[in-house]
A and B are shown apart, each in its own frame.
Chain A
Amino acid sequence: MSDIAIRVENLSKEYRIGGKQAVNRTFRETLLDSFSSPIRWMRGERKPIETFWALNDISFEIKQGEAVGIIGRNGAGKSTLLKVLSRITKPTKGRVDLYGRVASLLEVGTGFHSELSGRDNIYLNGAILGMSRREIGGKFDEIVDFSGVEKFLDTPVKHYSSGMYVRLAFAVAAHLEPEILVVDEVLAVGDAEFQKKCLGKMGDVAKQGRTVLFVSHNMNAIEQLCKSCIHINHGRLINFSSDIHSVIVDYLFGDPSEKSSTIWINSENSYISKIFKPISLALTDESGNLLPSTIPNNSDFYVAIEGELAFKDPAFTVGYAIYSEDGALLYWTYNIDTTEDLWPLLNEGKFKIRSKIPHRFLNEGVHKIEMIASLHFREWLLEPGHNNPSVLLTIHGGLSDSPLWFIRRPGLLAPVLKWENW
């Protein structure tokens, strides 16, 4: 293979449990231990050393010029993987071959010294990240330009605002030119404007044919930036595919059967109760066409529910709950939320109802929509969060018509609300 950039083979890393306390010991404890452990050993008492595998038999190959996202829950082993790849810590087993210089950005501003001026810190930080003085000198103006702190170049950075600090730090890092760039979640800093700038810069890096490894919890950033995606869980490689969306969905919602589908059909005749049998749950447009897995935010869509009632019961309610990509419940809604005269009719037999979700109401990201049903104030038939029938929808783009609002804002919702003189 001629175009490999990173080859990881059976990589494992073992840590002692309680790492810090266990190792940060004092002489006294070590001395006491060295006396008492032979005695314990003779008595047959052995203190088992508890360990865990932060990385467990991971293998993958990354081609040159590929931008690869790494996702996984906290503690899944992402950071350990980056630390091994950037040679900060050694693996316990396995090997890694790197075909090129590696620069790692595990935090912005590593080695910044608060007493030094912005100018001095550019040189210092650059050297720490592996740039030569000549390289930094050649890019100095570009770096200053990118950071936008030229007025304060000779001020000690301790007087900087946190925004300025981060901008300067990222500016240095952004001008690294290694063959392989390893980045951990640095985009989680700075305001939205600056984040966009950073994403753009990272995109450029990838376009120049450099290999980028990028850990983030920001699924949008991963989707924008990367060509493929690695999902790690409990130190193991779960998924590595160029179908980023499905890797993300798999990571977010776990169950591979619901992969990026905007329709759920009760093909196994499950979820049946004495009164209610769900038939389908679908996301459609106005005229009933099934939605693609990703839609822009500028069109209304419908949550359509089909079901069958064994008998009519006025207490029967059905609706949906909607969750954001990090699992937060946005709201739930039922057929009985309005005044009685507006309720849809639900008689014995099959029914088809739907409810509109207005455009520009939800935010960008992956959403999970879950069918819920109950006999009101009596019992749950499909209790929210209990692995009910569900579908997924990604909203991307189309946030607003404003010339000034074009990237995702934080928050669960992103309604476009009107302002007026008053």
Chain B
Amino acid sequence: MTNKNVITTYSAGEPLITIKPQQGWAALELGDLWRYRELLFLLTWRDIKVRYAQTVLGASWAVLQPLLTMAIFSVIFGQLAKLPSDGIPYPIFTFTALLPWQLFAFSLTNSSQSLVGSQNLVSKVYFPRLIIPIASVLPGLVDFAISFLVLTGMLVYYQIPLTTRILSLPLFLLLAVMSALAVGLWLSALNVKYRDIRYVVPFMTLFWQYATPVAYSASLIPEKWRLLYGLNPMTGVVEGFRWALLGSGKVDGLVWISIVIIAFLFISGLTYFKRTEATFADVI
């Protein structure tokens, strides 16, 4: 036998792990999360690999979905309803918003179902439960990257010049992911107890989409309502995308409100998740 079978002995002092009843607030246990980072990547990779299995079109769906939505929006809102698009060609105006929006909606839907969908893992193995909703949010980024290539092509086609504003794009992308994760933490944990969530989510995303300037311009909102409008965190994100890529719209107090809201949702979601985490295996 080689030395790979040598066993570490921990018993000299403190136990390596102590299991006790959970009292009050749970610790965040970020170290544990870090130790299981490989599992996080593997679960993300699994979702990506499996998503388009047994589909004829495969990953082209990632391109088709936003393109088709853009086409429909362009006909209905651009041509028929003639919604103003801040002087920018309507297709690219809406496509730029669809990218973060679809990332958000997809990740949100995915993560709200994630814990219940991983029932067998939750009830049979230990690992930091946070990994599950996080891993379900990340695959959306792959679709995002693919559609972003399409967007780049469209920017060239419509001859929209790039400015240094594009450097702020990662920030808005991060905000989109964070808001999806924040809401996902809430919903995934709630879904363990209340399976109603499954029925709530489709309505919620539909409603939310109309509350977000995806198909229309935020400039349609009267100035006095703007701050209130900013309570929807995705407003700031979508406005930010248009601002960074198309140079339209503006990044003002509204974006700051969005950031505050996202931070609030995220922290409260994380807290709720960690509080209920201990009972997941018993309840799920």
Q: Give the B-binding residues of A (Cβ under 8 A).
A: 1-5, 7, 15, 19-20, 23-28, 30, 64, 83-102, 104, 106-107, 110-111, 113, 115-116, 120, 123-124, 127-130, 132-133, 138, 156, 177, 179, 208-210
Contacts and interface: CB of A to CB of B under 8 A. Distances in A.
Contacts of B1: 208
A107 B17 contact: no
Contacts of A120: 46, 49
Contact of A110 (B7, B21, B43, B120): B120
Interface stretch (B139-147, B153-161, B189-197): B189-197
Contacts of A2: 11-12
A123 B45 CA distance: 11
A67 to B, nearest CB: 14
Interface string B1-16: 1001101111110011
Contact of B16 (A30, A99, A110, A209): A99
Which 5 interchain pairs have the tightest Cβ spacing?
A97-B15, A87-B126, A96-B19, A98-B17, A99-B11
B281 interface: yes
B83 interface: no
Interface in B192-209: 193-196
A98 B196 CA distance: 39
A98 B18 contact: yes
A100 B10 contact: yes
B15 A98 contact: yes
A96 B5 CA distance: 26
Nearest to B15: A97
Contacts of A86: 125-126
B38 to A, nearest CB: 5
Given A20-B283, A97-B15, A177-B5, 8 more contacts: A24-B193, A89-B282, A90-B19, A97-B17, A100-B9, A100-B16, A104-B126, A128-B121
B197 to A, nearest CB: 9
Contact of B19 (A87, A133, A177): A87
Contacts of A177: 4-5
B50 interface: yes
B15 A7 contact: yes
A127 B19 contact: no
A156 B22 CA distance: 40
A129 B125 contact: yes
Contacts of B5: 177, 208
A132 to B, nearest CB: 6
Nearest to A101: B16
B127 interface: yes
B125 A88 contact: yes
B60 interface: no
Given A5-B11, A88-B126, A210-B7, A95 B19 contact: yes
Contact of B124 (A4, A84, A100, A106): A106
A102 B8 CA distance: 12
B42 interface: yes
Interface in B265-284: 278-279, 281-283
Nearest to A139: B4
Contacts of B164: none
Contacts of B17: 87, 97-98, 102
Nearest to A126: B42
A64 to B, nearest CB: 7
A115 B54 contact: yes
Contacts of A209: 7
Contacts of B10: 99-100, 179
Interface residues of B, number: 43
Contacts of A107: 120, 124
21 contacts: A1-B11, A24-B193, A26-B196, A28-B196, A30-B194, A89-B282, A90-B19, A91-B21, A94-B21, A97-B15, A97-B19, A98-B17, A104-B124, A111-B125, A113-B46, A120-B46, A127-B38, A128-B39, A128-B121, A128-B125, A129-B125
Contacts of A28: 196
Interface in B178-196: 193-196
B42 A124 contact: yes
Contacts of A87: 17, 19, 126
Contact of A179 (B8, B18, B283): B8
B123 interface: yes
B57 interface: no
Contacts of B42: 123-124, 127, 133
B131 to A, nearest CB: 10
B20 interface: yes
B53 interface: yes
B15 A106 contact: no
A133 B20 contact: no
Given A88-B126, A120-B49, A100 B281 contact: no
Given A87-B17, A92-B21, A64 B125 contact: no
Contacts of A124: 42-43, 46
Nearest to A20: B283
A110 B5 CA distance: 25
Of the candidates B20, B121, B126, B279, the one having the most CB atoms from chain A within 10 angstroms of its own CB is: B126
Contacts of B127: 128, 130
Nearest to B39: A127
A289 B150 CA distance: 90
Given A64-B9, A99-B10, A91 B20 contact: yes
A88 B194 contact: no
Contacts of A92: 21
Given A88-B281, A89-B282, A26 B195 contact: yes
Contacts of B122: 88
Contacts of B21: 90-94
B46 A208 contact: no
A124 B194 CA distance: 29
Contacts of B46: 113, 116, 120, 124
A323 B109 CA distance: 56
A91 B18 CA distance: 11
Contact of A208 (B7, B123, B195): B7
A89 B279 CA distance: 7
Contacts of A91: 19-21
A28 B199 CA distance: 13
Nearest to A84: B19
Of the candidates B11, B19, B20, B50, the one having the most CB atoms from chain A within 10 angstroms of its own CB is: B19
A3 B7 CA distance: 13
